[in-house]
Amino acid sequence: MSHEVSAAPPVALHRPLPSLRSAAITGLGLYVPEKVLTNTDLEKLVDTNDEWIRSRTGIAERRIAADDEWTADLAEKAARAALEDARVSPTDVQLVIVATCTPDFQFPATAALLQHRLGCTAAAFDLEAACSGFVYGLIVAQQFIATGAVDTALVVGAEVMSRILDWNDRNTCVLFGDGAGAAVVQAAPQGYGITGIDLGANGAGGDLLKVEIAPQAAEAAVGAPPARRVFQNGKEVYRFAVNVMGESAVRAAQNASLDPSQVDLLVPHQANIRIIESAAKRMNLPMDRVFVNVHKYGNTSAASIPIALCEARDEGRLKHDDNVVIVGFGAGLTWAAAAMKWHSPDED
Ligand code: UT7
């Protein structure tokens, strides 16, 4: 039986933005753990091989957090790098959002831990939209800035996926990795920053990609060990993803009054090279206008887009006035895209 999930439910948030104050990314940072786990290393853990993983996903290796490294540790390193990049003091940050599906605690929020470590007095909360979380978080921050409630926000995507993987399940353990990326978001000159958005969710696909808590809690009550591990129906998530990535990116571009072919750089969620290629095709973009680093890090969930954005900027691929689209999809099922007119603070 097919579980195909529509990527266009009747209610989705993809209206053109009213013209309030513009918000742009003014600083980027990333951190990935030192330990590299290659496909060849994985061959020793499960019945898999380098050729299968590379050809089906594009992944060659991923990073794995050390035993004493946690989501807040990764988040802090990425956040400090982003603040330094933006030349912003932590005390100037008024809002901290951490997008993560691997928080260190059920509560307190990882964002609160991060706020304390940074020494700021900002409002702080976690946001859970799985791999779409960073783009959701960026858009939330943009709304606060647009209304004038906040001048400076910090949005972080940070994950230690290795802690929630079943290392005996070849269907999932080869796909994910650990890392963090961060962005400072501030008011920007009119016409720059986020110019179009597309946000959505369809909970009908919730069973396709999940980490269960309640049933395991029940088992725990009768003595079985809790086992919070990623379950995924890979084929169905793939079908959803090849559709939604391109469609959502197109809607965000159109809401920014852009033809998708005018996009200078697409920075998609790095889950699978085949999904990325299908999004590029839907947008009529050649692959040299698409940023790809899935081969180095695998799927780092909410961290994937900010890590990719930071590397793209470091490689000189985000230039002032460029039209940039970021797009993600993930458990929920969720999706989120934002079109941005890239603003380089050096041009002020
Ligand atoms: O952020 C959201 C995260 N989720 C995703 O992006 C996942 C979306 N889905 C996918 O990327 C793909 O569906 C996968 C990469 C997970 C799988 O690729 P596929 O081309 O859809 O493969 P499949 O599931 O159809 O499996 C083909 C075969 C199966 O064997 P049989 O039944 O044909 O004998 C699997 O058991 O490949 C087998 N297989 C593996 N073989 C070697 C599954 N995992 C592995 C593995 N190594 N790691």
In short, whether 231's Cβ falls inside 6 Å of ligand 1 is no
What's the pLDDT at 6? 62
49 catalytically annotated: no
Grouping H, G, I as helix, E, B as strand and the rest as coil, residue 90 is helix
In short, whether 330's Cβ falls inside 6 Å of ligand 1 is yes
120 catalytically annotated: no
In short, whether 174's Cβ falls inside 6 Å of ligand 1 is yes
Do residues 28 and 309 touch, judged by C-beta distance below 8 A?
Answer: yes
Q: Counting atoms of ligand 1 from 1, which one is nearest the CA of 57? A: 15
Nearest to 7 by CA among 279, 254, 257: 279
Q: Whose CA is closest to atom 38 on ligand 1?
A: 171
Q: Pairing relation of β-strands 123-127 and 95-99? A: parallel
Do residues 99 and 134 touch, judged by C-beta distance below 8 A?
Answer: yes
Q: Counting atoms of ligand 1 from 1, which one is nearest the CA of 272? A: 11
State the Cα–Cα distance between residues 140 and 150, nearest whole angstrom: 11
Q: Against a cut of 0.85, is the pTM above it?
A: yes
- Ligand 1 center–CA 273 separation, angstroms: 13
131 catalytically annotated: yes
- Ligand 1 center–CA 171 separation, angstroms: 6
| DSSP state for residue 347 in the 8-state scheme | G
- pLDDT of 93-113, one tens digit each? 999 999 999 999 999 999 999
In short, whether 171's Cβ falls inside 6 Å of ligand 1 is yes
- pLDDT of 216-252, one tens digit each? 555 555 555 546 789 999 999 999 999 999 999 999 9
- Ligand 1 center–CA 241 separation, angstroms: 14
Q: Whose CA is closest to atom 23 on ligand 1?
A: 235
What's the pLDDT at 5? 64
Amino acid at 222: V
- Ligand 1 center–CA 168 separation, angstroms: 15
Q: Pairing relation of β-strands 230-232 and 209-211? A: antiparallel
- Ligand 1 center–CA 147 separation, angstroms: 44
In short, whether 237's Cβ falls inside 6 Å of ligand 1 is yes
Mean pLDDT in residue range 249-275: 96
In short, whether 113's Cβ falls inside 6 Å of ligand 1 is no
Tokens representing 255?
A: 């809401």
Per the residue annotation, which of 173, 299, 323, 343 is the catalytic one? 299
What's the pLDDT at 81? 98
Tokens representing 317?
A: 């691929």
In short, whether 186's Cβ falls inside 6 Å of ligand 1 is no
Mean pLDDT in residue range 65-89: 97
Per the residue annotation, which of 39, 101, 120, 131 is the catalytic one? 131
| DSSP state for residue 16 in the 8-state scheme | P
Mean pLDDT in residue range 45-72: 97
16: pLDDT strictly greater than 60: no
Q: Tell me which of 5, 49, 52, 56 to substitute to probe ligand 1's pocket, judged by most ligand atoms within 8 Å of the beta carbon.
A: 56
> Whole-number mean pLDDT of the chain?
92
Do residues 343 and 86 touch, judged by C-beta distance below 8 A?
Answer: no
Per-residue H/E/C for 95-133? EEEEECCCCCCCCCCHHHHHHHHHCCCCEEEEECCHHHH
What's the pLDDT at 15? 57
Mean pLDDT in residue range 75-98: 98
Contacts of 62 (CB under 8 A, 6+ apart): 36, 37, 176, 177, 178, 296, 297, 298, 300
What's the pLDDT at 345? 73
- pLDDT of 113-144, one tens digit each? 999 999 999 999 999 999 999 999 999 999 99
CB-facing half-sphere around the CA of 69: CA atoms within 13 A: 21
- Ligand 1 center–CA 49 separation, angstroms: 12
β partners of residue 328: 336
**φ, ψ (nearest 5 deg) of residue 72:** -65, -30
Of the pLDDT bands very low, low, confident and very high (cuts 50, 70, 90), residue 4 is low
Per the residue annotation, which of 269, 272, 310, 343 is the catalytic one? 269
In short, whether 291's Cβ falls inside 6 Å of ligand 1 is no
Q: Tell me which of 161, 207, 238 to substitute to probe ligand 1's pocket, judged by most ligand atoms within 8 Å of the beta carbon.
A: 238
Do residues 33 and 75 touch, judged by C-beta distance below 8 A?
Answer: no
Calculate the CA 252 to chain-centre distance: 16
- pLDDT of 156-214, one tens digit each? 999 999 999 999 999 999 999 999 999 999 999 999 999 999 999 999 999 999 998 76
Between CA 92 and CA 14, with CA 130 as vertex, the angle to 5 degrees is 80
Mean pLDDT in residue range 308-314: 98
Neighbours of 105 (CB within 10 A): 13
- pLDDT of 246-256, one tens digit each? 999 999 999 99
Of the pLDDT bands very low, low, confident and very high (cuts 50, 70, 90), residue 20 is confident
Element housing 200 (H / E): strand 193-201
| DSSP state for residue 316 in the 8-state scheme | T
